[in-house]
Structure formats: C-alpha cells, structure tokens
Amino acid sequence: MGYAQLVIGPAGSGKSTYCSSLYQHCETVGRSINIVNLDPAAENFNYPVAMDIRELISLDDVMEELGLGPNGGLIYCMEHLEENLDDWLTEELDNYLDDDYLVFDCPGQIELFSHVPVLKNFVEHLRRKNFSVCAVYLLDSQFITDVTKFISGCMASLSPMVQLELPHVNILSKMDLVTSKRDIENYLNPEPQTLLAELNQRMAPQFGKLNKTLIKLLKRYSMVSFIPLDLQKERSIQYVLSQIDCRIQYGEDADVKGNCKYPRSCRLSSIVLSSMFHGKVMLEINYIKMYLLLQPLALMAVSMC
C-alpha cells in the first residue's frame, strides 16, 4: 500500500511552504517522502519535485493557446489531468514502490476542492492504485481573528471534507507570524454557546436563526477542528505529521508512535470516515450537505458586518 497527503487550501495559505518544510523535516530525521506538484501555474520550488503536472500541461500554454484567463485556464488544466489519470498519472505512479509516501501540492483555487469533481476523481484513482490518502487543509491562522472569520473558515473547511470523503486534518498555518497566540487558542476548542453569543453580538439580529443553525451544525457533528502549525518548531511539524500518519495508518506494522495522541482512534479513522458515507449515516451527510447550501449566505452575512 502507498501513502499520500493531498495538501489543499485557499491561495496564500502556505501549502508549498508546508510541503517544503515537511520535506526538510523528513530529510533531517532520515525519512523518505516525495513531493508532487499539481499546480500547473507553479514556477519556483523549495523542494525536489518528484512528479510535475507541468510535464503534462501548463497554465501559461493554455492561456496563450486558448485565450483563457487564469481561473478558467487552471480549471482547464485540472480537467485535462482528470482525462489523463489512466495514462500520465498511472505511468508516473508506477515508478514508486508500494510503501512510498507522496505529498501532492495542489493549486489554491477553492472550486477544485469544494464542488468541482476533479480532485474527487483524482483521489478515487489513487485509491484504485492502493493508496491510503489523507486530505490536509491549510488555513492561514492570521485569518482567524474573530468569530465571524472563524465560522467562515470552518464552513470552507467542511466543504472539501464532504466533497472528498477522506480522512481529514485541518491545519492553522503561519502560527510563527501570529503576535497574539492566545487569541488563536481560544478557537482551537471553542464552546458552541460562546461562539453563538459572540456571533450574535457581531451580526445583525436578522441573522440570529442563521447563526444558530451554523453553530448547531458544527456542534452536532464535531467534524471541524484545527491543529496549529509553527514551521519554526520541529516538534510542531512532527506532531502534525504524526497525526496525518495515524489517519492513513502509515507504519501500521510498527509500534504505535508515542507522540500520537489518539493512536487507536487515528488508526481506525480511515475506516470510520469511509463508512460514514454508507448506510444510515448517509442521511446525516445529506443533512450536512443541505446546510452547506447556507455557506454563501454566511459569507455574505459576514461581509455585511
């Protein structure tokens, strides 16, 4: 079995920096990983590129030949990748052994992991190739400065969680740039009623029912939580990596790692999260998807504050 991280998140959230730091950390501790560039617009890398989508298609070529803009061109590139999963990607994956560890550095266009099926089909192809995959969603910690932005971040994170149907780790990136870490810590494990009270204070009264619905969604499913990541601290990188390893059952034949906070639950997480999308629990997922339709309203409400 192979192992893979799918690194996603908004543009500027630190995905490539995360991949670079992860590579350097693994190199220091004598662990082998392979970084894959899935961004057809990328130009410079601070890590060795094991696979590069630009060998298949590049954004510059698409914009020049088809006259598309950056966003339309990027969607075209990723759809072209989807059409070549059985050819180009399969040929590239055949170069790796069963126990190799791949980290896919994805583009930051939010449509790709919220509702466009490209990455979902990409993940399904990896699974058919016997890869255990974990989605790693990065959110800029400097974005989480008040309750309205925190709720928006949670909803933005919940979309790919439901869309991709993968074991999922949410990371607050750029913690080394945060001046007041205590403000961020208040949102790592917040009390729902406290969030609701703060949300009602920040927003107009007519949004009261919407606020209550959003908090109820997060409370009922307890699916969204964040791990802070400070790239200046090796132990922070190691902790994040250990949590991801547990979710994809990396090294399952070895002893359980001592820094894994919830070893048993992590090792079973991929099975649990996979089964969530079958049987009776599918009703609850449909319930989540129904409430995700409220996300544009929530973002609009935040912008009006």
**Residue pLDDT, tens place only, 164-181:** 989 999 999 999 888 877
**Structural contact between residues 76 and 107, judged by C-beta atoms closer than 8 angstroms:** no
Q: Cβ contacts of residue 158 below 8 Å, gap of 6+? A: 217, 223, 224, 288, 292
Per residue in 7-66, pLDDT tens? 999 999 999 999 999 999 999 999 999 999 999 999 889 999 999 999 999 999 999 999
Q: What pLDDT is stored for residue 283 in this prediction?
A: 44
Using the predicted structure, report yes or no on whether residue 277 has a pLDDT greater than 80: no
Per residue in 50-66, pLDDT tens? 999 999 999 999 999 99
Q: What pLDDT is stored for residue 303 in this prediction?
A: 52
Q: What pLDDT is stored for residue 304 in this prediction?
A: 53
Of residues 128 and 296, more confidence is placed in 128
The mean per-residue pLDDT over the stretch 127-151 comes to 89
Q: Say what angle helices 281-292 and 208-221 make with each other, to 10 degrees.
A: 150
The mean per-residue pLDDT over the stretch 253-265 comes to 44
Of residues 256 and 107, more confidence is placed in 107
The mean per-residue pLDDT over the stretch 72-88 comes to 95
Where on the phi/psi map is residue 110: left (φ > 0), alpha (ψ -120 to 50), or beta?
alpha
Per residue in 87-124, pLDDT tens? 999 999 998 888 899 999 999 988 888 778 999 999 99
The closest alpha carbon to 184, from 194, 175, 192, 193, belongs to: 175
Q: What pLDDT is stored for residue 68 in this prediction?
A: 93
**Structural contact between residues 144 and 151, judged by C-beta atoms closer than 8 angstroms:** no
Using the predicted structure, report yes or no on whether residue 284 has a pLDDT greater than 50: no
% the chain with pLDDT above 70? 81
**Structural contact between residues 138 and 144, judged by C-beta atoms closer than 8 angstroms:** no
Using the predicted structure, report yes or no on whether residue 129 has a pLDDT greater than 80: yes
Of residues 123 and 217, more confidence is placed in 123
Tokens representing 15 are: 């995905």
CA distance 104 to 5: 6
152-156, 216-220, 240-244: segment of lowest average pLDDT: 216-220
Tokens representing 86 are: 């059985």
Strand order in the sheet with 49-52: 49-52, 34-37, 101-105, 2-8, 131-140, 168-173, 227-228
b/e map of 72-86 (b: 16 or more CB within 10 Å)? ebbbbbbebbbeebe
**pTM of this prediction exceeds 0.75:** yes
Q: What pLDDT is stored for residue 177 in this prediction?
A: 86
Tokens representing 84 are: 């070549």
Q: What pLDDT is stored for residue 47 in this prediction?
A: 92
The continuous run of DSSP H or E covering 2 comes out as strand 2-8
Strand partners, 134: 5
Tokens 């790592």 sit on residue: 188
Using the predicted structure, report yes or no on whether residue 264 has a pLDDT greater than 70: no
Q: What pLDDT is stored for residue 258 in this prediction?
A: 42
Q: What amino acid is encoded at 254 in this protein?
A: A
Q: What pLDDT is stored for residue 21 in this prediction?
A: 96
Q: What pLDDT is stored for residue 300 in this prediction?
A: 53
Per residue in 149-166, pLDDT tens? 888 888 888 888 888 989
Write phi, then psi, for 107 (nearest 5 degrees): -65, 165
b/e map of 256-265 (b: 16 or more CB within 10 Å)? ebeebeeeee
The number of CA neighbours under 13 Å toward the Cβ of 241 is 24
Q: What pLDDT is stored for residue 8 in this prediction?
A: 95
Q: What pLDDT is stored for residue 146 in this prediction?
A: 81
Using the predicted structure, report yes or no on whether residue 281 has a pLDDT greater than 60: no
Q: How confident is the model at residue 148 (pLDDT cuts 50, 70, 90)?
A: confident
